[in-house]
Structure 1
Amino acid sequence: MELLIVSLASLLAGFVDAIVGGGGLILVPALFAVFPTTAPATLFGTNKGASVWGTAVATTQYARRVEMRWRALLPAAAAGFGGSLVGAWLVTVVDPGFLRKALPFVLLAVLLYTLVKKDLGRHHAPRFTGAAETWVACCIGLVVGFYDGFFGPGTGSFLVFLFVRWLGYDFLNASASAKLLNTATNLAALGLFAWKGHVWWHFALTMAVANVAGSVLGTRMALRHGAGFVRIVFMVVVSTLILKTGFDAFLK
């Protein structure tokens, strides 16, 4: 029964995550609810062991239909991998708790900006080319990768928003690009968790199959309905993140 519950949660998480990120909002609470006495590191590691596969498959699916800007994105993914490793190491020596109270307000600012700028992310008009685009993408990868390793909640949403706002991508292209970087940051975190023995592989592998199935469905829906649909899902996910992180920071 436990495996069935977390696998269903992983299916839904893969679906949501493939569209705009935020799958951790579903899968991580489900793991903590089903295994309340388990060490958090093990649950986080098991989450990464399942979700990284769905994110990788979503990247592949998007790459077949969306023109990925590989010259900028591959170095950015490498920067994200490195940033995530540094962040994951730093969290072993510094308590990230100070971010809990700030995060809901940062997410609220992102949501309000998206609501006010009604045309934001509706049209794909990259602002940079060549080396400039690569440097900007690498900055995004490094900073958000570090955040993912150090703290984590909202990583996918931050990646999408920055690709839209800073690089001028539409929401569909931003989501596709974010999946590549998120795969790299997840791999870095998974490597550290696995090295420390914090992954339940017998659960993670079954959950990974469910996550991939949800990811394929979510990617197809995003590709079918386009940037406007992804924008709406983005706002829903960010709104949910605000409620969840706000509750954790001030009421829990």
Structure 2
Amino acid sequence: MSLDLIIICTFGFIAAMVDAIAGGGGLISLPALLMVGLPPHFALGTNKFAASLASLNSSITFARSGKVHFPLVKWQIPFSLLGAFLGAWAVLGVSSDFLNKAVLFLILFVGIYTLVRKNLGMENNFKGLSSSKIVMGCLLAMFLGFYDGFFGPGTGSFLIFSFITLFGFDFVSSSANSKVLNFSSNISSLIFFAWNGKILYSIGIPMALFMILGSYAGTRLAIHHGPELVRPLFVIMSILVAAKLIFQFL
């Protein structure tokens, strides 16, 4: 194994572990691919391939633990897929400059609001589903799926925050539900990159194996240590996403 591949697999493992707990793993895995010299489009495609497999593994592990609320997410998944497809299509002809600035403020708000509200997401206050909440959840899934297909950074944070504030789930259940939706929205962009030959499988396959291991480790940590682990890491990753966006903006 070459030094470059060792670097990619190591950072991929860490990225997937963090992403399984609180989202934001792309902040770690994508720069690692760029650091070893992959062209941006191949770095994006290869990262999406490996991260999608890791996300699938996290989704399965969370589901087996009983943390995924399927009566809700089964309605949201088709809307997430549709939104991601529309977002991937729209990005071809629309500038992301405005979205970049808007997301900067939104992700900062999410991080700061969570930091200030000490008890937010620490207990599961889910009271059941109503027709209106299912509709709101589906619309939100389509909107965030569109955002993920169009732009991407912070999608996991927004999903986790929405499951907490809209439905009353705790951080662990919110992470589990968001991981399932995040995987579904990744499908569209993954197909797009694969169709256009932008995935380097010689790097993506070993990276995916290490990211699957990392996602399993992160998921088990989240399940066993609960909101006490997920909440602070969620705040940290939200702020790091905002810092990345500020750096890009400047």
Instruction: Please classify the TM superposition score into its range, dividing by the shorter chain length.
Output: over 0.9
Check whether the contact 2:67–2:177 (CA below 8 A) recurs between aligned residues. Answer: no
Q: Which amino acid aligns with 1:152?
A: G
Question: Shift in Å at residue 128 of structure 1?
Answer: 4.7
Counterpart of 1:6, as a letter, is I
Q: Which residue of structure 1 aligns with residue 30 of structure 2?
A: 28
In the alignment, does 2:208 pair up with 1:208? yes
CA–CA distance in structure 2, aligned partners of residues 198 and 75 of structure 1:
31
Give the alignment of 1:52-131 within 5 angstroms. 52-131=52-131
Partner of 2:167: helix, strand, or coil? coil
- Name the CA distance, whole Å, in 2 between partners of 1:59 and 1:89: 26
Secondary structure of the residue aligned to 1:169 is: coil
Aligned CA RMSD, in angstroms, stands at: 1.4
Equivalent in the alignment of 1:11:
13
Q: With structure 1 as the length reference, what TM-score do the two structures score? A: 0.94
Partner letter of residue 176 of structure 1? Answer: A
With the length of structure 2 as denominator, give the TM-score of the two structures: 0.95
Residue 31 of structure 1: CA displacement?
1.3
Letter in 1 for 2:176: A
Deviations 1:39-98 (A, max 9, x none): x22211111100011111111111122342212102212211111111011111112122
The answer for the alignment partner of 2:137 in structure 1 is 137
What one-letter code is carried by the residue in structure 2 that aligns with 1:30?
A
Distance 1:243 1:85 in 2: 28
Q: What residue ranges of structure 2 are gaps of 5+ in the alignment?
A: none
| CA distance in structure 1 between the partners assigned to 2:67 and 2:203 by the alignment | 35
1:236-251, aligned counterparts within 5 Å?
236-250=236-250
Runs of 5+ in structure 1 lacking a partner?
none
CA contact (8 A) 1:71 1:134 kept: no
- Measured after TM superposition, the shift of residue 177 of structure 1 is 0.2
**Aligned pairs, how many?**
248
State the match for 1:199 in structure 2: 199
